[in-house]
Amino acid sequence: MYKYPNNIIAALNGFPRVPLLSNDTPLENLPNLTSLLNKNTNKFTKLFIKRDDLTGLAMGGNKTRPLEFILGEAVSKGCDQIIITGAVQSNYCRSAAAAAAKLGINCHIQTENRVSEMNETYHKNGNVLLYKIFGAKVSFFSEGANKGEDAADKELIKISKYYEGIGKKPYIINLSPNHDPIGALGYIDAIREILIQCRTQDIKFDGIVTASGTASTHAGILVGLALENLKIPVFGICVRRNKEEQKERVIKVVKKLLKLINSNITIGAEKILTDDRWLGDGYGTMSKEVLDAIKLAAQTDAILTDPTYSGKSIAGLIKLAQQNDFKNNANILYIHTGGHPGIFAYEALLSN
Q: Which of 331, 271, 345, 340 is nearest to 310 (CA)?
A: 340
| Cβ atoms 98, 57 nearer than 8 A | yes
Do 126 and 341 meet the contact criterion of CB atoms below 8 Å apart? yes
Single-letter amino acid code for the residue at 138: V
Residues in the chain: 352
> Which listed residue (22, 35, 76, 90) is catalytic?
90
Count of CB atoms situated within 10 Å of the CB of 340: 19
Read out DSSP for 290-303? HHHHHHHHHHHH--
d(CA 160, CA 155): 9
Residues 29-49, buried b or exposed e (16+ Cβ, 10 A)?
Answer: ebebbbebbbeeeeeebbbbb
CA–CA distance, 132 with 8 (Å, rounded to integer): 37
Could you give the dihedral angle defined by the CA atoms of residues 119, 298, 89 and 128, in that order, rounded to the nearest 10 degrees?
Answer: 80
Crossing angle for the helix pair 64-76 and 185-201, to the nearest 10 degrees: 130
Active site (annotated) includes residue 90: yes
In the chain, the amino acid numbered 173 is I
Residues designated as active site: 90
